């Protein structure tokens, strides 16, 4: 079965970027510490990255994140989806308007202008097709940004929440959780490395 997995790194005080995040400062001031684990050579971290990248049947992101990864300082042949894994699943972007051009034209991009729920359904269809080709269940992964994942959680569109809790306090930035409906979580996995605590929850 295709799951919708929200996967994101977060600080101890609940932020998914540092302050002053923008197109030229994607993770905000000090936010690079959130992703230290993704570029680590620690075997636990490498396994988490590789496993998540391999299970990604389709990936959903917001327009602001797309502008960062497709921008001049974004993804490359060395660093892309899954950090150094540079995975190439189909990507679905939630946006109000298609971009005029795409730098990373070798990747499979779909732009959905009718909202997050529709984007997830498009990604689910793409992930189901990839699952059939590979003969195994693959996931729809919501990779961010934080507002997109927060909105998806609030709307009940997420099956699984995968958090990478970095040992850093940012003090300000983009919060993952804001006021809204409460959600019950069932803890399924806890994996610890020196760089992060990797937490997996089912969302009820």
Inter-CA distances, 56 with 12, 60, 126, 142, Å: 26, 10, 10, 10
**pLDDT tens, 154-202?**
899 999 999 999 999 999 999 998 776 678 899 999 999 999 999 999 9
Interval 14-31 mean pLDDT: 90
**pLDDT tens, 29-56?**
999 999 999 999 999 999 999 999 999 9
The pLDDT value given to residue 25: 85
User: Which secondary structure element, helix H or strand E, spans residue 151, and what is its range?
Assistant: helix 146-154
Neighbours of 51 (CB within 10 A): 11
pTM: 0.94
Structure tokens at 59: 């990936």
CATH number at residue 175: 3.40.430.10
Largest CA distance in the chain: 45
Structure tokens at 135: 């003969």
Neighbours of 113 (CB within 10 A): 13
CA pair distance 112, 116, nearest whole angstrom: 8
Q: Check residue 96 and report its DSSP letter.
A: S
Domain count across the chain: 1
Q: Give me the domain span that covers residue 193.
A: 4-203
- What is the pairing mode between strands 56-62 and 139-144? parallel
CA pair distance 73, 111, nearest whole angstrom: 21
**pLDDT tens, 103-128?**
999 999 999 999 999 999 999 999 99
């Amino acid at each position: 079965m295709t799951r919708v997995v929200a996967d994101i790194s977060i600080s101890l005080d609940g932020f998914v970027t540092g302050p002053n995040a923008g197109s030229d400062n994607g993770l905000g001031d000090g936010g690079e510490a959130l992703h230290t684990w993704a570029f680590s050579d620690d075997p636990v971290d490498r396994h988490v990255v590789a496993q998540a990248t391999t299970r990604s049947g389709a990936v959903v992101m917001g327009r602001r994140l797309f502008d960062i990864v497709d921008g001049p300082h974004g993804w490359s042949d060395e660093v892309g989806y899954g950090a150094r894994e540079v995975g190439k699943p189909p990507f679905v972007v939630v946006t109000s308007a298609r971009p005029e051009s795409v730098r990373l034209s070798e990747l499979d991009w779909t732009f959905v202008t009718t909202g997050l729920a529709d984007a997830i359904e498009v990604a689910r269809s793409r992930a189901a097709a990839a699952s059939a080709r590979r003969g195994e269940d693959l996931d729809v992964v919501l990779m961010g940004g934080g507002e997109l994942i927060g909105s998806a959680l609030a709307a009940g569109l997420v099956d699984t929440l995968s958090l990478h809790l970095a040992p850093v306090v940012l003090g300000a930035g983009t919060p993952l959780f804001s006021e809204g409906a409460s959600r019950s979580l069932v803890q399924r996995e806890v994996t610890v490395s020196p760089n992060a605590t990797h937490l997996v929850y089912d969302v009820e």
